[in-house]
Amino acid sequence: MDTLQYALRKLVTGIPLVLGVTFISFVLMVYFGPDKTYELIGKNATPEQIAEIRSQLGYDEPFFVRYADYLRQLVTLEFGYSDSTGERVSRILTRTIPVSLALTLPGFVLGNVLAVVLALVAGFYRGGLIDRAIMAGAVVGMSISFLIIIIGFQVLLSSSYGINYFPVRGWEVYSLADYLYYVTVPTLAIVFVSLGYNTRFYRAVIVEEMNRDHVRTARAFGTPPIKLLFRNVLRNAAIPIITRIMFSIPLVVISGSLLIESYFGIPGVGKVTYDAITTGDQPILKAVVGATAVLFVLTLIATDVMYKVIDPRVSLK
């Protein structure tokens, strides 16, 4: 009950935050953003024609009217039609966001779960051979460029130089088998890229926790190693771990999938965003920028609520 109240209060305090971030994105991306007037108008336009187009586009409205208009679009999720394809922006997003999620989620989850497991093992045997082997692997993983990893996996798994079983690109998913067929290589690439960074980060957190007094106490009372790792180490390391996971969600959903999607030719929201940036497709950009901002704020609130659930010392005030 307390936690629910806390969550609601956090949501209320989130409102000014949403207004703030949407205001900044409005100023940068909309008010000073791409101006379509001269694309729509022919050569040698008269000042009257220019004024007419600008009025049609709403550019002549006062600043705050335009901001209110942007907020209304965000709330109703109605951003108009794409400049390049004429498709409704809300339809484009409902079509592409699930694809991006399906594409990045397995890699994201695996990359974090594996990293936590490796970090626990490395932390437990810290200074030993196992620890050094895992950390050396992490550094290698971090040092190789994302592009090389993608190409490497494509060569190994999707070409006649390797096992040539998986597709190089594309996304035609109608069944679970299709899904596994298309998602495997991108997932491997995502896991490989994130594993090194994640493992290093989580190991640092876990080693710090292993040195705490309460871990020594637990040992002094005969706690077996697995229980020690979960009850003492992981439970207490949960806050930094969750912080990292939660705050990478907005990035993974929107921008993290960008490279993967363009390399594997997958029609996700990352690719849509990339195309919108290169063509100046303002309705889509407005939607994506606004949605990212709101997603960040929601993540922030969710993270705060999770802290409360995990750590009894986080006060309800």
Partner 1 sequence: MPLLEVDNLQVEFSTERGVARAIDGVSFNVNEGETLGIVGESGCGKSVTSLSVMGLIPRPPGRIVGGEIRFAGQDLTQLSDKAYRKLRGRDMSMIFQEPMTALNPVFTIGNQISDVLRRHKGLSRKQARTRGIEMLAEVGIPAPDKRIDEYPHQLSGGMRQRVMIAMALSCDPKLLIADEPTTALDVTIQAQVLELIKNLAADHGTAVILITHDLGVVAETCDRAAVMYCGRIIEQGPVDALFEQPRHPYTAGLLASVPRIRPDRLPRLPTIPGIVPDLLDLPDGCRFRDRCGQALERCGQFDPDLSAEGDARTEAACFNPNPVTQT
Where on the chain is the footprint of partner 1 (CB under 8 A)?
Answer: 127-128, 212-214, 216-224, 231-232, 235-236, 310-313
Q: How far is the CB of 7 from partner 1 (least distance, A)?
A: 20
Q: Give the integer Cα–Cα distance in Å for 64 and 113.
A: 46
Tell me whether residue 50 or residue 218 sits nearer to partner 1 (CB atom). Answer: 218
Collapse the DSSP code of 81 into the 3-class scheme (helix H, G, I; strand E, B; otherwise coil) and give the result. Answer: strand
Tokens of 58: 């709403």
The answer to whether 207 and 126 are in contact (CB under 8 A) is: yes
Tell me whether residue 174 or residue 221 sits nearer to partner 1 (CB atom). Answer: 221
Tell me whether residue 92 or residue 205 sits nearer to partner 1 (CB atom). Answer: 205
Per-residue H/E/C for 120-182? HHHHHCCCCHHHHHHHHHHHHHHHCCHHHHHHHHHHHHHCCCCCCCCCCCCCCCCCHHHHHHH
Q: How far is the CB of 246 from partner 1 (least distance, A)?
A: 19
Q: How far is the CB of 77 from partner 1 (least distance, A)?
A: 40
DSSP state at residue 265: T
Tell me whether residue 260 or residue 306 sits nearer to partner 1 (CB atom). Answer: 306
The answer to whether 195 and 143 are in contact (CB under 8 A) is: no
Q: How far is the CB of 271 from partner 1 (least distance, A)?
A: 43
Q: How far is the CB of 198 from partner 1 (least distance, A)?
A: 23
Provide the angle, in degrees to the nearest 10, between the axes of the packed helices 257-264 and 176-210: 150
Tell me whether residue 185 or residue 205 sits nearer to partner 1 (CB atom). Answer: 205
